[in-house]
Amino acid sequence: MDKGLSTTVGITDELAIDVKEQMDVAEVYDRVVNLVSGDLGEGAEGGGISGWFETLDYVRSKVDPSNGRSKKVRHNYITLQPKGERSVKGALKRYGEPELLEGGNKWRDSNGDLVDAWKGEEIVSYPHVGVFRLNRFQMDDYGTVSKYEGKLRVEPTLRVKGEGWRYRLRSVVVHRGAYGYGHYYAYVLRGGRGGRGGGVVGRLLGNGEEGGGGWWLCNDEIVTRVRWKDVKEDVYKNGYMAFYEKEQIET
């Protein structure tokens, strides 16, 4: 990786970031992934920093499910809608729920006919490091964007039905402030569950030997060790991006 990326100025210049303007951290993450893709991807599933989510996006006739179309799409992260949900797990279950295209919004099929149809998407492949954007910025019917500050539990582990692994929470990016301005900082779990470990996240953050493992608050130049209780309480209303890493389930 370019030595210039070891400085803040080098990073912002390379990512074309105007430090005087507020930028969504999800957009910054996209730029980082595109910049370093391949440099840190050893052992990841699909390349990049962590691999990709792959979804199957589809439209299917309500009457005849065989009448439809679908395509696979790659995502650096998955956007979840926290409003009305109690946890990341609940929001993930609702991800891609189909909507009915009907009335003046019917789907035109390959025969040119307008039909009622289901439109949705489902996750068909999960990366080694799963990144979830918790979309707290909501637009109302008048086009006004505001921040949703409802409580959303960010679980330390996530299970995916039918899989022999689970996701372990490794980091959460927090947003304080309102839409258009504010401040981002992050909580990071160094090392594995007990302060040891490797994997993709371990290679990026260290193995937890220097300074100890556990949870750390990274707020600009200030880095402080914290308890999980502190992390959980802060991200409850302000968590914005959650980073999970796969681990095998011990039997």
3-248: which CATH topology?
A: Cathepsin B; Chain A (3.90.70)
pLDDT at 158: 95
pLDDT at 38: 52
For residue 112, give both structure tokens: 């040119």
Report the predicted TM-score, pTM, of the whole model to 2 decimal places: 0.83
pLDDT at 2: 56
Q: What is the pLDDT along the chain (251 residues), one digit of tens a residue?
A: 555 556 778 778 888 888 777 788 888 888 888 877 655 444 444 444 567 899 999 999 999 999 999 999 999 999 999 988 999 999 999 999 999 999 999 999 999 999 999 999 999 999 999 999 999 887 777 877 878 888 999 999 999 888 889 999 999 999 998 777 789 999 999 876 544 444 555 444 444 444 567 999 999 889 999 999 999 999 998 999 999 999 988 76
pLDDT at 35: 78
Each domain of the chain, given as residue ranges in start order, spans 3-248
pLDDT at 6: 60
pLDDT at 137: 80
